[in-house]
Chains A and B, each alone.
Chain A
Amino acid sequence: MPVAGFDKSVFINCPFDDDYRQLLLSLVFTALYLGYRPRLSLERADSAENRIDKIVGLIDESKFGIHDLSRIISTEENQHFRMNMPFELGIDFGCKKLKGGKWSTKQILVLEKERYRYQKALSDLSGSDIKNHNDDPERIVAVVRDWFVTTESIRAISGNRIWHEYNDFQAFLYDELVEKDGHETVDDVQASEIIMLMESWVKDRKP
């Protein structure tokens, strides 16, 4: 199993649906902007590899885990609970607690929409590092930035300034995808393609 980049890799466990897309993009942007490498199951498109093996591989290769539980609760009648996110959080916790070695240094951030809401469904997490984002991309930038700064003892520009950078990236995205490439909207483009553009934009932006 390749382990290069473990100290900079961030496993991101969140929904990939339209409803969460802007939170996902701002979260990934913040991690990239701070010099980390976001790892998402979207990046491993090999259909021969089963989903759980992909997830376990990414968790094994990542020192950091960001797990968003804000979409586990069904919003409509007769809709099922979405258990993938807490399941993958459990694997990450298990890896940290049981595998030993460098994996014991793993850092885990749990995100929720509202403060304390998770306690009703997942009370085992009480006392863990849980932050709420209120479904607000500006807020998720600040929360993720603050968490990395505290956890890693690094210096970084404020969440507000990273948010302004993210807005510049969105303007770049509009110019490239809508005006240059002819897409109807930026939402027509898959998140994995946008994240590739994000990586090169951040690389060019930062000295």
Chain B
Amino acid sequence: MSKKTSSQHVVKDDDGWAVKKGGSTKATRHFSTQQEAIEWARDIAKRQKAEFYIHGRDGKIRSKDSYGNDPSPPKDKR
């Protein structure tokens, strides 16, 4: 099963985009564009040293960055 590391997710939500914490079924905040959601959530993920997932419109992972205490520096996988 998945590690219990904290994570932040940018997900499609009705007509816009939402930021949600991993494991939560409620959105933390809604945005009208994905870019706005990404900028806001990435900042939180960095501060929380969390995993950061950007989901596509279909729910699939588009990219993931790790801001945890990983010995390897975080890299964009886009």
In the assembled complex, A163 has its CB within 8 A of some CB on chain B: yes
Contact in complex: B61, A171 (CB < 8 Å): yes
- A176-190 contacts to B, CB under 8 A, are 176, 178, 186
Question: Does the CB pair A175–B2 fall under 8 Å?
Answer: yes
A164-B20, A172-B2, A176-B2 known; A26 vs B25 contact (CB < 8 Å): no
The answer to whether residues A167 and B64 also contact, given A22-B59, A137-B58, A176-B2 and a CB cut-off of 8 A, is no
A164 adjacent to B25 (CB under 8 Å): yes
The verdict on A160 contacting chain B, using a C-beta distance below 8 Å, is yes
Helix, strand, loop or mixed for chain A's interface? helix
Q: List residues of B (10-33) whose CB comes within 8 Å of A's CBs.
A: 11-14, 18, 20, 22-27
A138 to B12, Cβ gap below 8 A? Answer: yes
| Chain A residue contacts of B64, Cβ below 8 A | 171, 174
A26–B2 CA distance with the chains assembled, in angstroms: 20
- What's the Cα separation between A164 and B18 when bound, in Å? 10
> Are the CB atoms of A168 and B9 closer together than 8 Å?
yes
B58–A22 contact, CB under 8 A?
yes
Distance to closest chain B CB from A157 (angstroms): 6
* Chain A interface bracket (under 10, 10 to 19, 20 to 34, 35 or more): 20 to 34
Task: Report the minimum CB–CB distance from B31 to chain A (whole Å).
Answer: 15
Of A26, A162, A170, the most chain B CB neighbours within 10 A belong to A170
Does A165 touch B at the CB level, under 8 Å?
A: yes
**A 1-40 contacts with B by CB, 8 A:** 22, 26
B26 and A171 form a contact (CB under 8 A): no
Tell me which of B18, B20, B61 has the highest count of chain A C-beta atoms within 10 A of its own C-beta: B61
| Contacting residues, chain A, for B3 (C-beta < 8 A) | 175
With A160-B14, A167-B9, A204-B1 in contact, is A174–B22 under 8 Å at CB?
Answer: no
List the A side residues contacting B55 at CB < 8 Å. 167, 170-171
> When each residue 41-66 of chain B gets 1 if its CB lies under 8 Å from chain A and 0 otherwise, what string results?
00000000001010101111100100
For A164, give its contact among B2, B7, B11, B51 (CB under 8 Å). B11
